[in-house]
Structure 1
Amino acid sequence: MGFRLESVAVSASGPRPSNQDSAFAAPWGAGVADGVGGGPAGDLASAAFVHRLVAGWHQSPDAEMLTERTLLANWDIAAHAHRDPRLAGMATTFTGLFVGYRNRLLLAHIGDSRAYSLRSGTMTRMTRDDSFVQALVDGGHVRAEDAMSHPHRNLITASMSGGPDDLPLVTWVDPLHDDRWLLCSDGLTDYVDDGAVSEVLSRDDREDAASELVDLALDAGASDNVTVVVADVIASGDSPPRKTPVFVGAAARRFTLDDPFRDVAV
């Protein structure tokens, strides 16, 4: 029997005047993009990337197909900057989970947004940050438990920026029914430790879990946008899936025909 994803996405701007995070949720995939801070038009970068990536999606990809689609979405970022030089340098992270061929999942990742899996009560981090601080941790210069408070924790070393060398890491994952996944921007993981995240992620109701994770980050003093997607692996015959992707954050405000959009997608 095949499977699909049932997901809920929640995004909050927090104390910032605008939300530069984008996310989407669909039965065939889900993803989070975080416009890179310090550059121009991070909200445009994340929204443009997400919308181009999911536009017209109709098949289960293999790793090569998914990589090609991320590169096409990256070219959209380059096209915006080409049309308006003021946008040069805009970029976004991306972490996405997709239903692929032969009942497997594909995980795509670049930047410091993250993916975690929850299986049988155990949460496992499934991505490695492309960041300066992660390199310090890997080299033994910074303890992992100190990374959250490091003054340079937001300095990333890879992103989708419209450049010819931008390339996400795409890997296969073997799913089990009832697995749960968390995709999130660093607005969550910079302020809430993995133990607290795991406790909330284990709640039965995925919508409550997603909303509470965002609230935890805001209550912890998050100075960034906070976006989470909680996705459950469900047997495909259980119930009819929602076919149209739902967007939150910047992607709910840009490149959409329906207005207004809620900032919660089930």
Structure 2
Amino acid sequence: MGFATGQASISGDYRDGNEDSLYVSAWSAFVADGVGGHAAGEVASATVAIRLASMLDATEGRLPGEERLRELIAVANADLALRVRMDPALTGMATTLVGLFSDGERALVAHTGDSRAYRLRDGALAQITEDDSLVSELLATGAIAEADVADHPLRSVVTHVLAGDPEDAAALHVATEPLRRGDRWLLTSDGLSDYVPATEVAETLVAAETPQDAADALIALALRHRARDNVSVVVADVAELAEPPAYHPAFGGSAAADPASSRTLHA
């Protein structure tokens, strides 16, 4: 089993550029969000997205296991360090990453930072990842209450990201989840989750007929909530795939516009 997908990425009404990048295929999908306040966030997310996608080409997006996934993300992370060595003006660039990778029977959910993975099952939405953020740590220790999170002045501070240091990839979280037909997965940058209540996200995912309908509806929902950040979403329905499925990767956000990429992009 793999995925039927929909995706969308916008800069939003309050940002001049889009620092998010995303990729989808029948076997894999991910969202990367260039970290705000750091140099060249759009370059960081596009660098990781393009490098990771180029390596996934070898297996048409299918991954055999966690060890290989960690290897690929470590290589993509190392590309950030290489680009900084080539252009010191990029020093400090970084990106979050959240991804869903299928081996045909199970899904590997990988993440670092505050981009999130959710799973809709039988009408109930569950957040599968836990943010690598300062407010999450404060909440876990009881220093702040849940009601304080949305308006906390440090809510955008992330504690782990990909920034080119080998320790970044080592800190990556990877969880294994069974693939169940009928499940609908959502991968999103914090431009959606910071501004739209989870109840409305769930209602939108339930109501949408197709993954692309769901992705488009979530973008519209974020705009109605006046999201002040870039918004990128991937919606992936677990589905039985033909063997082998056609490989038509699609990109969005800054990765789709990155002039350094020689790939043919289908944004």
Give the TM-score of the pair, scaled to structure 1.
0.93
Q: Distance in 2 between matches of 1:116 and 1:185?
A: 11
Bigger Cα displacement from structure 2, 164-173 vs 25-34: 164-173
Q: Is the 8 A contact 2:4 2:26 kept in 1?
A: yes
Q: Distance in 1 between matches of 2:180 and 2:147?
A: 30
Q: String of CA shifts for 1:142-196, please: whole Å, max 9, x gaps.
A: 2224312222110000000001210211111112111100000000011001101
Matched residues, number: 257
Q: Is the 8 A contact 2:52 2:76 kept in 1?
A: yes
Q: Is the 8 A contact 2:18 2:253 kept in 1?
A: yes
Q: Distance in 1 between matches of 2:147 and 2:120?
A: 21
Q: Which residue of the partner structure matches residue 7 of structure 1?
A: 5
Q: Which residue of the partner structure matches residue 95 of structure 2?
A: 92
Q: Is the 8 A contact 1:148 1:189 kept in 2?
A: no
Letter in 2 for 1:228: V
Q: Which residue of the partner structure matches residue 230 of structure 2?
A: 225
Q: Is the 8 A contact 2:6 2:213 kept in 1?
A: no
Structure 1 stretches of 4+ with a deviation exceeding 4 A read none
Letter in 1 for 2:6: V
Q: Which residue of the partner structure matches residue 104 of structure 1?
A: 106
Indicate the RMSD between aligned Cα atoms, in angstroms.
Answer: 1.5
Letter in 2 for 1:6: A
Q: Is the 8 A contact 2:32 2:97 kept in 1?
A: yes
Q: Which residue of the partner structure matches residue 35 of structure 1?
A: 34
Match of 1:158 among 157, 160, 164: 160
Structure 1, unmatched stretches of 5+, are: none
Letter in 2 for 1:165: E
Q: Distance in 2 between matches of 1:179 and 1:39?
A: 36
Mapping of residues 156-235 of structure 1, within 5 Å: 156-167=158-169, 168-203=172-207, 204-235=209-240
Bigger Cα displacement from structure 2, 87-96 vs 206-215: 206-215
- After TM superposition, give the deviation of residue 243 of structure 1 in Å: 0.5
Q: String of CA shifts for 1:77-127, please: whole Å, max 9, x gaps.
A: 110001111111100000000002x61110100000000000111110000
Q: Which residue of the partner structure matches residue 21 of structure 1?
A: 20
| Percent of residue pairs identical | 43
Q: Is the 8 A contact 1:22 1:249 kept in 2?
A: yes
Q: Is the 8 A contact 1:149 1:190 kept in 2?
A: no
Letter in 1 for 2:31: V
Match of 1:113 among 115, 129, 147: 115
Q: Distance in 2 between matches of 1:256 and 1:223?
A: 31
Mapping of residues 114-133 of structure 1, within 5 Å: 114-133=116-135
Q: Are residues 1:136 and 2:141 paired? A: no
1:36 alignment partner, SS class: coil
Q: Distance in 2 between matches of 1:240 and 1:215?
A: 34
Q: Distance in 1 between matches of 2:147 and 2:179?
A: 29
